Chain A
Amino acid sequence: MKLKFGVVIFPGSNCDHDTYHVLKHILNQETVYLWHKDVDLQGCDAIVLPGGFSYGDYIRTGAVAKLSPIMNSVIDFADRGGIVMGICNGFQILTESGLLPGALIKNQNLKFVCKDVYIKAVNRDSLWSKSLEKDTLLTPIAHGEGNYFTDAETLAELEKNDQVIFKYASSKGEISDVYNPNGSVSNIAGIMNKSGNVFGMMPHPERSSDEALRKLDGVQIFNSLISNFIK
């Protein structure tokens, strides 16, 4: 199936072109850029908030981006069941705007972490994980504020509703503190909302989607979304 994707550009987004490239040229989906000052989502089936440092991460990561005119449309779209995916800074914007619970705070070791890590799909029923070829994927991370935090009550709720999709793990899918790169509660790398149409993750699937990079695990996440999307 061919979907129409909209990749939002905020001032300071820097993974917008990578994401566009993967969706348009590798996955052959209709893809458009959406400017943060626009309000028209141009009839897109799915909106992607890409990685980067929107508004220089001022105040808190994603805190200013959530006030962009386009975000009112994105929130409205999500409330009506529209598919929204946030990657890295996009995930931070989704938590700031209240579309996803919790917050992303400074990495526990205070360092910007840039490396490839394994994540395990702990829920294989979501749009983004249903058609993965395997449970454990190698994906790049690059963030200073990727430490997912939520209070115990919300965490219990997330786990109970199967909203946690990805957790940091070993290459064999073992989940433990040793494989947690940033201090996230319960090793959380990606979650979705209760109704399953809004999803955010810190790792960058778009950076492991092109054969030229010799890393291809990330593309499975986009493929899963495309093949399970119901128009």
Chain B
Amino acid sequence: MFKAKVVIKRKKSILDPQGKAAEHGAVLLGYKNISNVRIDKQVEFLVHVDEQDAAQKEVTEFCTKLLSNPNMENFEINLEKIDEA
């Protein structure tokens, strides 16, 4: 079994208004060293297969078909092998 952590990021070319708002908040708080704030999504779930390749394939499909929109987002998949509880 694998534990999947998927990070979904807006493409760099797309303005992230939430990130901008947070960046502005940093200025209001007096922080002068913070820039390029991007607010991404992280999704975690279990994948009940033994083979890493099979897990990778299924998670990639899940990300492509539902968790992300290829028009505006990219995703990164992190798989961690864990023991069946």
The smallest beta-carbon distance between B32 and chain A, in angstroms, is 23
Residues of B within 8 A of A151 (CB): 13, 71
How many angstroms between the C-alpha atoms of A108 and B18 in the bound complex?
Answer: 9
How many angstroms between the C-alpha atoms of A164 and B71 in the bound complex?
Answer: 18
Asked if A183 is at the interface of the complex by the 8 Å CB criterion, the answer is yes
- Known contacts A107-B17, A108-B15, A109-B17; decide if A149 and B66 are in contact (CB<8 Å): no
Asked if A59 is at the interface of the complex by the 8 Å CB criterion, the answer is yes
CB atoms of B21 and A110 under 8 A apart: yes
Of chain B, the residue at the smallest CB distance from A103 is B71
Residues of A within 8 A of B14 (CB): 105, 149
CB atoms of A110 and B71 under 8 A apart: no
CB atoms of A102 and B66 under 8 A apart: no
How many angstroms between the C-alpha atoms of A59 and B66 in the bound complex?
Answer: 8
How many angstroms between the C-alpha atoms of A63 and B67 in the bound complex?
Answer: 8
CB atoms of B18 and A106 under 8 A apart: yes
Interface size class of A (residues with CB under 8 A): 20 to 34
Chain A positions 100-118 with a Cβ under 8 Å from a chain B Cβ:
101-103, 105-110
The smallest beta-carbon distance between B25 and chain A, in angstroms, is 12
Residues of B within 8 A of A64 (CB): 66
Residues of A within 8 A of B18 (CB): 106, 110
Of chain B, the residue at the smallest CB distance from A109 is B17
Asked if B69 is at the interface of the complex by the 8 Å CB criterion, the answer is yes
Chain B positions 10-57 with a Cβ under 8 Å from a chain A Cβ:
10, 13-15, 17-18, 21
CB atoms of B15 and A183 under 8 A apart: yes
Asked if A220 is at the interface of the complex by the 8 Å CB criterion, the answer is no
How many angstroms between the C-alpha atoms of A150 and B66 in the bound complex?
Answer: 19
Chain A positions 37-86 with a Cβ under 8 Å from a chain B Cβ:
59-60, 63-64, 67
Report 9 cross-chain contacts, Cβ distance below 8 Å, ordered by A residue: A59-B66, A64-B66, A105-B14, A108-B15, A108-B17, A110-B18, A149-B72, A183-B15, A183-B17
**B-contacting residues of A (Cβ < 8 Å)?**
59-60, 63-64, 67, 95-96, 101-103, 105-110, 149-151, 183
**A-contacting residues of B (Cβ < 8 Å)?**
10, 13-15, 17-18, 21, 66-67, 69, 71-72
